[in-house]
Chain A
Amino acid sequence: MTARIEPIIGRYLHLELEGRDHRIYFEEAGDGIPLLCLHTAGSDARQFRALMSDEAITSHYRVIAFDMPWHGKSSPPAGWEREEYQLSTSSYTDMIMSFARALDLDQPVVMGCSIGGRIVLSLALEHAGELGALIGLQCGAYVQRYYDSSWLNRPDVHGGEVCAAIVSGLIAPQSPEEHRWETLWHYMQGGPGVFTGDLHFYQVEGDIRGRIGAIDTTQCPLFMLTGEYDYSCAPADTQAAAALIDGARVVIMKGLAHFPMSENPELFRTYLLPVLDEIRGASKA
């Protein structure tokens, strides 16, 4: 096997969020329209590594993904040891927009998955004028809590093992073993309580059903792509949200589940490329 270096570059950004210094790790590859990617709860930006090595994407898009604070190679803020991490709509929105402004991203396309798919709906409401387009993967307005997330962070259950085991069913049965287990590995590496803290936004605080009817897709196009095997955000959940939003475009992805970009990148690109081509075509017009 020949050694090779991937085109992905990683750097650290110091950014003030909610009045505190944060050290944020981000990766990028490609040139063109900024495509800011948001990872799922309890994971990190490595989920987008296949997109960043896909020339069909990077020849037209500057693909950027950051690890949220507490995730991946981004640190929790100083003093974290005395607090409980909990993501909220406002802290998540502030993080994304602050990051985009810090990097001077001009009209970025924002693509988020799961919690990232949810926050895309908030961005559509509050920041449509600053964004080129929005892509929600596994994007729904609400999820009913269906298991007790306190199991994810307690001393008599290994946190890495159980977080991976909880999400293992959110990968489609057909997805390649190599990608399935890499996706799970990211969950195994999450810090204690971080996945649970993200789920606070996803399952409790971030219910946005009552607001999404005001989204104006003529100001910022919204695409919603959902894998058929996802039960955390099932196709019916995406379709229910889209039914409230004029002009929202829905694609149900066969053979994929909750982690399309990392569980089966080869299949996912067949759904994503037409969307990216359409966004690029519209941006030229």
Chain B
Amino acid sequence: MIERLPELVNGDAALVRRGRYFTDVFMIEVGDVQYLVHVRQGRIEEVERGPFVMRSWRFAVRASADIWDRFWQKLPDPGYHDIFALLHKGEIAFDGDLQPMMANLLYVKAVIAAPRMLAAGKAS
């Protein structure tokens, strides 16, 4: 899912434009598995899969594999449809320097939700 972010995001010109001021590395944690997402001007350059030793990242978004599975459904259930809905439930954690995340929140939310396109069959 996460490994396919480059194709899911980079093919969406409007989304890339929305993230044009975002150049950074952030972490998505799916249960025990960590991913580092490298972004340059809204394009996903690379997704690395951990484990990592002494790697730096700007901010991290962490939830269990079960929660992400529910989040990435084509039509998620109420409460599992947005990262702030998960925050409200206490099922997700944000840490690190949150300023770039908050300054680009529409973009970051769309990137994190992009794997739903796989469930929806919009990307093969």
Contacts and interface: CB of A to CB of B under 8 A. Distances in A.
Contacts, number: 55
Contacts of A157: 99, 102-103
Interface size range on A against B:
20 to 34
Contacts of A230: 78
Nearest to B85: A231
B79 A169 contact: no
Interface string A228-264: 1111101000000000000000000000000000000
Contact of B103 (A158, A170, A173, A234): A158
Given A169-B83, A169-B85, A229 B78 contact: yes
Contacts of B84: 146-147, 166, 169, 231
* A contact patch SS: loop
B17 interface: no
B103 A162 contact: yes
Interface in A196-238: 228-232, 234
B24 interface: no
Contact of B106 (A147, A168, A174, A228): A168
A277 to B, nearest CB: 28
Contact of A162 (B78, B87, B102): B102
Interface string B84-119: 110111000000001100110110010000000000
B106 A173 contact: no
Given A156-B99, A231-B88, A166 B105 contact: yes
* B contact patch SS: helix
Contacts of A13: none
A126 interface: no
A158 B102 CA distance: 9
Interface in B56-89: 75-76, 78-79, 81-85, 87-89
Contacts of A161: 103, 105-106
Contacts of B89: 231
Given A162-B102, A169-B81, A173-B81, A147 B87 contact: yes
A165 B106 contact: yes
Interface string B16-28: 0000000000000
B118 to A, nearest CB: 16
Nearest to B18: A161
Contacts of A158: 103
B109 to A, nearest CB: 6
B68 to A, nearest CB: 16
Contact of B79 (A147, A165, A174, A231): A231
A271 interface: no
B101 to A, nearest CB: 9
Given A169-B82, A169-B83, A164 B99 contact: no
A229 B103 contact: no
A185 interface: no
Contacts of A147: 84, 87
Interface string A131-163: 000000000000000110001000011100110
A173 B109 contact: no
A231 B88 CA distance: 7
A169 B76 CA distance: 12
A229 B81 contact: yes
Contact of B109 (A146, A165, A228, A231): A165
A219 B105 CA distance: 45
21 contacts: A146-B88, A147-B84, A151-B98, A156-B99, A157-B99, A162-B103, A165-B109, A166-B84, A166-B105, A168-B82, A168-B106, A169-B81, A169-B83, A169-B84, A169-B109, A170-B82, A174-B75, A228-B78, A231-B79, A231-B88, A234-B78
Closest 7 CB pairs of A and B: A169-B82, A165-B105, A165-B106, A146-B88, A231-B85, A157-B103, A229-B78
